[in-house]
Chain A
């Protein structure tokens, strides 16, 4: 059983390392215009020796696009999730730890954001700030914040009622100290799990946003943009969806395997 766990973690780490490597090394090895070079005589070509993973509707090589897209997609996903953690963690922590009116006020704010359709937010951002990668990160980051805040608050609420926290309080430790020393480490597993899941969602959210024109701007490649472009050709050129889809799926799988093991290591309850 222990061995299995190690293997699983190992697979996760290997997967993630590979993907990270591709994202970092890919752009150094592959000529930068490889992802945008069009071959109008080979549009929607299924995988062949010249195009190992086929081509898209403009005859662009899917292999190059998926490799060069990795960087864009991961950059967007990671930045957006970091942003939502940076915003959501203090919100949830303070709210869950203090409870009472602080909790009430903060959670009303979070509820307002939660109930507000993310699409409206995305549309407003793209209309007012303009469509580009930076604003996509802002849109996803802000949209994810209330989810994170709510989950973190739930965890913090539980931890805050634990005997050792009450003991620390009784011994006169300041609230700030307790939060940093006792509450934060104990909610980290939940934060990590949530963040891994959010990463996957963020990659997909980018696809959703390119539906509105926000997100990576063509002809640059990103997984989300590629999946979005496959929408109208799924039945005639399934590889246009499967290639970026597989990339996202493998990343998500890697993140989850890694996250599970990390959680087992970090979470004292499951020891």
Chain B
């Protein structure tokens, strides 16, 4: 219990660190949103006017204070480029991204775990090579490559899925899944390689252990030994890696969401960054960081539950 409390406390501490780092980094970025709004129509006088009206001229400490204060009181401010309340934007976009994250992770695990187990069982034989080559294919080319291939194959040639766009899950849940599928598949292929490797290597280790030999000696079928006994023990590290990948996923969705016109959190973050919309950058980065942290926390807790060898610190 103290472990859980400690971890929770450290999550809060880290979130605070993140607000500091984010604020510092975003303020280092040259240029501002006023310049982005006006583009090549801007002149010094007009820029100054716009800055004033956007409140960009407030002292930094005040801006930081206002922001953190707002975070705590639930007032997340207004996006400077979209002129919409940030909380409203986030609520809408977070759901869309959650769908993609969950779906791509599911796809990756569904493909990676059997492939990895298969490779471990037939270690150093042709199956092993097939497994590692297949999974490597996904990671040998960047996500957007697979994204474009998916669009060409499944949208343009086969016509099974829409080439781009997004549907609100509240309007049409199945439809929203249809729009999310291709980007998730492309992301899943990228995630798969790492997970397959991890499954293979942990499974290999476990299959060589004493209790597996005992189980085999007892006359249990190979299928039961592998899928019931060995996998149950191997799943811990695999989940750890999967959890760590969540952070990586939030990096990848930025490109993938833009490619598919699937405008979720990744897209929103990217727009915020490109347009120097500081309040929006800070909010999106904070939310993504919080999600990643909480996932990591859950993974750690899960790991402790699954693997009793790890002592509680």
Give residues in A with beta carbon < 8 Å to B.
1, 4-5, 8, 99-100, 103-104, 107-109, 111-112, 114-121, 123-124, 127-128, 147, 150, 154, 157-158, 161, 193, 197, 200-201, 204, 207-208, 211, 227-228, 230-231, 234-235, 241, 245, 248-249, 252-253, 256, 260, 263, 269-270
Contacts and interface: CB of A to CB of B under 8 A. Distances in A.
A235 B18 CA distance: 41
B251 A241 contact: no
17 contacts: A103-B313, A104-B10, A108-B17, A111-B296, A114-B244, A117-B288, A120-B285, A150-B244, A161-B309, A197-B194, A201-B139, A207-B142, A234-B152, A245-B145, A248-B140, A260-B132, A269-B208
A227 B142 contact: yes
A61 B281 CA distance: 41
Q: State the 7 A-B residue pairs at the shortest beta-carbon distance, nearest first.
A: A249-B140, A115-B289, A115-B292, A112-B17, A234-B148, A245-B141, A207-B142
B144 A231 contact: yes
B201 interface: yes
A51 B267 CA distance: 39
A252 B296 contact: no
B184 interface: no
Contact of A116 (B22, B124, B141): B22
Given A204-B139, A245-B141, A252-B139, A128 B30 contact: yes
Contacts of B28: 124, 127-128
A147 B25 CA distance: 21
A231 B25 contact: no
B195 to A, nearest CB: 11
Contacts of B132: 256, 260
Given A227-B141, A234-B149, A116 B285 contact: yes
Interface of B: 6, 10, 13-14, 17-18, 21-22, 25-26, 28-31, 124-125, 129, 132-133, 136-137, 139-142, 144-145, 148-149, 152, 156, 194, 197, 201, 204-205, 208, 240, 244, 247, 250-251, 254-255, 269-270, 273, 281, 285, 288-290, 292-293, 296, 309-311, 313
A200 B144 CA distance: 16
A112 B13 CA distance: 10
A119 B201 contact: no
B292 A114 contact: yes
A234 to B, nearest CB: 5
B264 to A, nearest CB: 14
Nearest to A211: B255
A228 B143 CA distance: 11
Contacts of A249: 136-137, 140-141
Contacts of B26: 120
B201 A115 contact: no
B156 to A, nearest CB: 8
Contacts of A123: 29, 273
Nearest to B125: A4
B235 to A, nearest CB: 15
Given A231-B148, A269-B205, A120 B273 contact: yes
Contact of A253 (B6, B13, B133, B254): B133
A164 B152 CA distance: 57
Contact of B269 (A8, A119, A234, A253): A119
A256 B136 contact: yes
A111 B25 CA distance: 17
Contact of A5 (B124, B152, B240, B250): B124
B30 to A, nearest CB: 6
B145 to A, nearest CB: 6
A64 B27 CA distance: 42
A204 B189 CA distance: 14
Contacts of B137: 249
A19 to B, nearest CB: 13
Nearest to A147: B244
Contact of B288 (A100, A115, A158, A204): A115
B205 A270 contact: yes
A230 B152 CA distance: 14
B25 A117 contact: no
Contacts of A147: 244
A96 to B, nearest CB: 11
Given A111-B14, A117-B289, A121-B25, 19 more contacts: A4-B125, A104-B6, A112-B14, A112-B289, A114-B244, A114-B296, A115-B290, A116-B289, A117-B250, A118-B251, A124-B28, A128-B28, A197-B194, A231-B148, A234-B145, A235-B148, A245-B140, A248-B140, A249-B136
Contacts of A119: 251, 254, 269-270, 273
Contact of B141 (A1, A193, A248): A248
B25 to A, nearest CB: 5
Contacts of B21: 112, 116
B192 to A, nearest CB: 13
A10 to B, nearest CB: 13
A48 to B, nearest CB: 24
Given A114-B296, A252-B140, A197 B244 contact: no
A127 B30 contact: yes
Contacts of A114: 244, 247, 292, 296
A231 to B, nearest CB: 6
Contacts of A118: 251
A263 B311 CA distance: 27
